[in-house]
Chain A
Amino acid sequence: MIWVLIAIVVVVLAVLVIVLRRPRQEPGVASFRRHIDALSPEARREVMDRHRAQDDSNDGPNDGPNEGPGN
């Protein structure tokens, strides 16, 4: 029984050491990275491709007037 308890303690300690030694990222860094990644051309491709496809399939998304400079 005692050996089982010792084994559990050792495993828990090992997990703690591994978790604590892992380099932690600042929350600000992670959030900024996510923000910048979401603005990358790759992230934006989906919206642009969808618009191009929409443009190709019909001249306009709706029947709104294309007023040119008045828009």
Chain B
Amino acid sequence: MARDLAIDLGTANTLVYMKGRGIVLNEPSVIALNRQTGEVLATGREAWQMIGRTPGYIVAVRPLRGGAITDFEITERMIRLLLQRVGVSRFTRPKVVICVPSAITEVERRAVTDAARRAGAADAQLIEQPMAAAIGADLPIDEPVGNMVIDIGGGTSETAVISLGGVVALEAVRVGSFDIDAAIQAYVRREHGIAIGERTAEEVKMAIGSAAPTDDESQAEVRGRDLMTGLPKTVVLTPEEIRFAIEDVVSSIIASVVRCLAKAPPELAQDFLVRGMYLVGGGGLLRGLAPRIEKETQVPVKMSNVPLEAVVLGAGHCIEHYDALKNMFMGARRS
């Protein structure tokens, strides 16, 4: 008998929750392929370690960008391999709930459900990430009060107001922490004349990246390839430089939070002042982001206790109470 699954199919990481067991898999959404034969060489963490370090015949790719499938076939193969790793075979076909960005198009929705069904799921249902995040962050969404959740992922940032088990207002932008990495890469290339990889940019962000000045600031040494000479070169980056580099991305995320606040009915808006907004997703861990949002919106911002797992835990709760909560699935409400 197959155990039903909840999947947070994120641009950066894929998490799988198994009914009755909890989170059973947490791996980067990366797949490494042999360019010539098309064979899968590695998935998850192993493939992630290959990014930017592969010989010509191997390509390590993220098949999702901005929360959407960019390569249907590769995504399907990645999901199939991940499902196999959690014990799904062709004889055990589980029901699957998949978390997707709320701004997903009809075509993208079909691509995700088709990929899951072809990968071995008996039935695939979709749930909006902010709703799953609010459930997983343990917000009192069963009450008639305004709960606001900001989910900043690798490729999307979504803000939602939830009350009485439903979404009241929603705002999503296809901007996330990968855009912060890309902004750092572009800045270092432009201002210091060196090329750095995706993973180095991410390391810089984690080491000294911030959305607002913090108390514990230090500089970071970065090694890359000099664009003029082609030789390895080291430069020192300051937190001020990185703040400047990522300002456009951070401003765009904050602007979407402000737009969502403006969409909320006044009765619920007053709740936010008392209860605050909750930040989830890996992007929410950027230093200084919570105080910056708080400063610009005048609303308290709190970090969820489970920022990285909130979405899959919320979807996991939906799989545990599938019949009672099936009205929350995207197909159920739109068809």
Name the residue on B nearest A61 (C-beta): B23
Q: Main SS of the interface on chain B?
A: mixed
Stretch with Cβ within 8 A of A (4 or more), from B67-75, B138-146, B252-260: B138-146
- Chain A neighbourhood of B328, CB < 8 A: 35
Task: Please report the C-alpha to C-alpha distance between residue A8 and residue B302 in the assembled complex, in whole angstroms.
Answer: 67
Total contacting residues, chain A, CB less than 8 A? 30
Tell me, yes or no, whether B13 is within 8 Å of chain A by CB: yes
Please classify how large the interface on chain B is, using the bins under 10, 10 to 19, 20 to 34, 35 or more. Answer: 35 or more
CB distance from A48 to the nearest CB of B (A): 6
Name the residue on A nearest B48 (C-beta): A65
Stretch with Cβ within 8 A of A (4 or more), from B89-97, B109-117, B293-301, B305-313: B305-313
Task: Please report the C-alpha to C-alpha distance between residue A67 and residue B321 in the assembled complex, in whole angstroms.
Answer: 31
Tell me, yes or no, whether B320 is within 8 Å of chain A by CB: yes
Tell me, yes or no, whether A38 is within 8 Å of chain B by CB: yes
Give the number of residue pairs across the A-B interface with Cβ within 8 Å.
Answer: 109
Stretch with Cβ within 8 A of A (4 or more), from B32-40, B214-222, B280-288: B280-288
Known A69-B177, A71-B10; contact A39-B142, beta-carbon cutoff 8 A: yes
Q: Main SS of the interface on chain A?
A: helix
- Chain A neighbourhood of B313, CB < 8 A: 47-48, 51
Tell me, yes or no, whether A50 is within 8 Å of chain B by CB: yes
CB distance from A37 to the nearest CB of B (A): 7
**Contact (Cβ within 8 A) B324 A34:** yes
Binding site for A on B (CB under 8 A): 10, 12-13, 21-28, 44-45, 48, 135, 138, 140-142, 153-154, 164-165, 177-178, 180-181, 202, 205-206, 209, 281-283, 285-286, 306, 308-309, 313, 316-317, 320-321, 324-325, 327-328
Pairs across A and B, CB under 8 Å, 27 listed: A31-B327, A34-B324, A35-B324, A38-B324, A39-B141, A39-B165, A41-B140, A43-B321, A47-B313, A48-B138, A48-B313, A51-B309, A54-B22, A61-B25, A62-B23, A62-B25, A64-B27, A67-B206, A68-B282, A68-B285, A69-B180, A69-B285, A70-B177, A70-B202, A70-B206, A70-B282, A71-B10
Binding site for B on A (CB under 8 A): 31, 34-41, 43-44, 46-48, 50-51, 53-54, 60-71
